[in-house]
A and B are shown apart, each in its own frame.
Chain A
Amino acid sequence: MNIQASHSPNVAAPAVAESLQEYGRGVAGGLLFSLPLLYTMEVWQTGLNAHPVRLLVAVAGTFLLLLGYNRYAGLRRDAGMTEVVIDSVEEMGIGLMLSTLILWMTGRITFDMPATAIVGPVVIEAMIVAIGVSVGTEQLGGGSAAAAGMASDAQPGKKEEAGRQGTAHERLGGANHGRAEGESSPEVTFGGQLVITLCGAVLFAANVAPTDEVSIIATQISSWRLLGLAFFSLSLTTVILFYTDFTGARQFVRTRALPAVAVGVVIAYVVALIASALILWFFGRFDGEALMTCVAQTIVLGVAGSLGASAGRLLLQ
């Protein structure tokens, strides 16, 4: 497809067709991850009811998450900071466009509504779409195809290297394969791991958090079951990260020594709980609730969060 473009030695910018492919993947990814929430009533209502400051916090938080993800995850690990910022702004812009389009097509917003009734739902949904766009751009492209030996036309994301050298393809294929197998890839820093863990947790927990079911479960559950859910989350995290040979797990799991396992699991669970609490706060689930209900909701949502922090994270990186 675009082999020529990316192969020729003095191409600085990627071909337009390549960029289009990349945006196409981004749009597909954005919809894939966020359509459930674009079709969720509680999310629109949060958008209508939320105080503008809360929406601003959401935008800022999402932007940080996008920066972190673009910086540390997958194909762009070596991109410069300027490029990471530009990509993050692009993804947010695409998110805003897509969420406006879908909400308009489904009749959730019309342009004779007051601005507050349009901006709230569009902004909230756009944040979720933007994360999906970011993940989709990275994950729906090269990675797995490259590992399967189809590196040649599956690397539009790898602009710089592809332009820089003729042998880029072989090298990239190798690098990606290595990334999946955890052999030759560069070590991801601890901070980078934390960021990707947080992204995974947010991506999964955000899909569950806005519905009423979390607070219904949390208000009706007994303490023993709650403890059981926490234990279940920890076991799930342990098994996924250390004992199932999950795709990508070997990259960051160097040892199965007990202390290392315990530390890894606890860190992942803590990140999952923090992500869950932040999302619940954002969706107004903590407003006017007793502390115990907030804790219970966090643990209930923590099951989804820890699934994202373990399995989701391994798929994202």
Chain B
Amino acid sequence: MNTPEKNWLEWAVFAVGLVLVGAALGYLVYDAATFGNAPPDIEVRLDAPAQQRQHFTVPVTVINHGDLPAEGVRVEVVLEASGAEEPERAELEIPLLPRGASREGAVAFRRDPRTAQLTARLLGYEKP
């Protein structure tokens, strides 16, 4: 086998290319070997509410702990005030939630969530 004539720059680019391609392949092989088939496992977290001009917002973080991605993830947050009124509901949709990913958003309420009880739950999602 004859070694092609190359200058240092070409060898350097080749070396970097080899390392990058090797790293990408290595990671993909590792990923494929450890890849599970667990369905999307979606966690909804609520953060401290904040008062804005016309409403109150509650930051929402949605995390997918599963091995498969989810599309059109819908989350509902219900606010139940101590008065015996109807609970106030708010919804949030995340278009795409890949595996291991987290997305942040917020839901808005007219009543003050700081003096009420908040519950968050997943409504549903679609498999891509």
Q: Are B28 and A89 touching (Cβ within 8 A)?
A: no
**Residues of chain A with a CB closer than 8 A to B21's CB:** 59, 89, 92-93, 96
Size of B's binding interface in residues, CB under 8 A: 33
Interface string of B1-12 (1 = CB under 8 A from A): 111111111100
Given contacts A90-B13, A159-B5, contact A284 B128 (CB under 8 A): yes
B17 at the interface (CB under 8 A from A): yes
**Residues of chain B with a CB closer than 8 A to A93's CB:** 13-14, 16-21
**Residues of chain A with a CB closer than 8 A to B13's CB:** 19, 23, 90, 93-94
Instruction: Name the segment of B54-62, B78-86, B96-104, B105-113 touching the other chain.
Output: B96-104
Q: Are B4 and A83 touching (Cβ within 8 A)?
A: yes
Q: Nearest Cβ in chain B — how far from A66, in angstroms?
A: 11
Interface string of A74-115 (1 = CB under 8 A from B): 000001101100100111111011000000000000000111
- A163: contacting residue among B5, B35, B128, CB under 8 A: B5
Size of A's binding interface in residues, CB under 8 A: 44
**Residues of chain B with a CB closer than 8 A to A270's CB:** none
Which secondary structure dominates chain A's binding surface? Answer: helix
A55 at the interface (CB under 8 A from B): yes
Q: Are A56 and B29 touching (Cβ within 8 A)?
A: yes
Closest residue on chain B to residue A115 by CB atoms: B27
A20 at the interface (CB under 8 A from B): yes
Closest residue on chain B to residue A86 by CB atoms: B14
A16 at the interface (CB under 8 A from B): yes
**Residues of chain A with a CB closer than 8 A to B25's CB:** 56, 59
Question: How many residue pairs, one in A and one in B, have C-beta atoms under 8 Å apart?
Answer: 111
**Residues of chain B with a CB closer than 8 A to A20's CB:** 9
A264 at the interface (CB under 8 A from B): no
Q: Nearest Cβ in chain A — how far from B70, in angstroms?
A: 10
A184 at the interface (CB under 8 A from B): no
A48 at the interface (CB under 8 A from B): yes
B32 at the interface (CB under 8 A from A): yes
**Residues of chain B with a CB closer than 8 A to A51's CB:** 32, 35
Q: Nearest Cβ in chain B — how far from A286, in angstroms?
A: 13
What separation, in Å, do the CA atoms of A97 and B13 have in the docked complex? 11
B47 at the interface (CB under 8 A from A): no
A235 at the interface (CB under 8 A from B): no
Interface string of A263-307 (1 = CB under 8 A from B): 000000000000000000000100000000000000000000000
**Residues of chain B with a CB closer than 8 A to A45's CB:** 96, 128
Interface string of B24-58 (1 = CB under 8 A from A): 11011101100100000000000000000000000
What separation, in Å, do the CA atoms of A49 and B126 have in the docked complex? 13
Q: Are B14 and A89 touching (Cβ within 8 A)?
A: yes
**Residues of chain B with a CB closer than 8 A to A13's CB:** 5-7, 10
Closest residue on chain B to residue A59 by CB atoms: B25
Closest residue on chain A to residue B24 by CB atoms: A123
Given A82-B1, A97-B20, A119-B28, 20 more A-B residue pairs with CB atoms under 8 Å apart are A13-B6, A14-B6, A15-B7, A16-B9, A20-B9, A23-B9, A45-B128, A52-B29, A52-B31, A56-B28, A83-B4, A86-B6, A89-B14, A90-B10, A90-B13, A92-B20, A93-B21, A94-B13, A116-B100, A163-B5
A contact set with B: CB distance below 8 Å? 12-16, 19-20, 23, 45, 48-49, 51-53, 55-56, 59, 79-80, 82-83, 86, 89-94, 96-97, 113-117, 119-120, 122-123, 126, 159-160, 163, 284
Ordered by A's residue number, 10 sampled pairs between the chains whose C-beta atoms are within 8 Å are: A20-B9, A52-B35, A56-B25, A59-B24, A92-B20, A93-B20, A96-B24, A116-B100, A117-B98, A119-B24
Q: What are the 6 closest A-B residue pairs judged by CB atoms, nearest first?
A: A93-B17, A52-B32, A48-B98, A52-B31, A83-B4, A12-B5
